[in-house]
Amino acid sequence: MLVISIEAAAFGTNCYLVAPASGEECLIVDPGVGVEHQVAEALAQHGLRPAAVLLTHGHLDHTYSVTPVCGGTTAAYIHQDDRYRLRDPLASTSPQLLGMLEQQFGRRANWAEPDTVVDLTGGQDLDLAGLSLGVAHAPGHTEGSVLFSLPGVPTGMPDEVDRTVLTGDVLFAGSIGRTDLPGGDHSAMLRSLRDVVLPLPDSSLVLPGHGPATSIARERATNPYLTSLT
């Protein structure tokens, strides 16, 4: 499996391109601020063709480039509970943040909803770009946060991992996503960690929404938010 990681120009958000191999269709996960050109370059370099854009949740730092990346021909997939966030995420964004984006990129932030949006539900299975994915609803960071699970790992990974989980802002290396933003719920996050994250196999490679990759084995043993639940 081919996985390309692109760090967004703001907030350090990880955008991932996932494909069975070079020259195939691919999935684009969480296209954040300013990633359009890097995504286009990676697609061209590896001969990839976008089949879908997957969103782990609806926060602006994970969705800012979704419409240009979709390009009017590729559908965006998001959990139904975060669907409302794609209609106008700028409306709930602070003036200070919008000002920061304008200063960084030299233009005012603007938004257009993707032409095609597909609602996801927890427990759903997807077959896209020659890949099979499971969707797990894990609210807490937002109402519609999800994990995407795939059998298999990127080429070159150590033998102790044999599957991949894209965790968005639910689980990071050594930490978890914030729950003090609009739509956050700390009690829901703890339930998601207990009922969705902890049951994952130790052999799961974790590709988070921010920061470095990790594994469920490592997080189960060292992440204070998980060790406090066991």
How confident is the model at residue 174, as a pLDDT?
98
d(CA 224, CA 230): 10
pLDDT for the residue numbered 88? 75
Predicted confidence pLDDT, tens digits, the chain (230 residues):
999 999 998 889 999 999 999 999 999 999 998 899 999 999 999 999 999 999 999 998 999 899 999 999 999 999 999 999 998 766 666 677 666 666 665 555 666 899 999 999 999 999 999 999 999 999 999 999 999 999 999 989 999 999 999 999 999 999 999 999 888 999 999 999 999 999 999 999 999 999 999 999 999 999 999 999 97
Q: How many CB atoms lie within 10 A of CB 132?
A: 12
pLDDT at 109: 62
pLDDT given at position 10: 84
List pLDDT tens digits, range 2-29: 999 999 988 899 999 999 999 999 999 9
The CA distance from 132 to 14, in Å, is 21
pLDDT score recorded for residue 140:
98
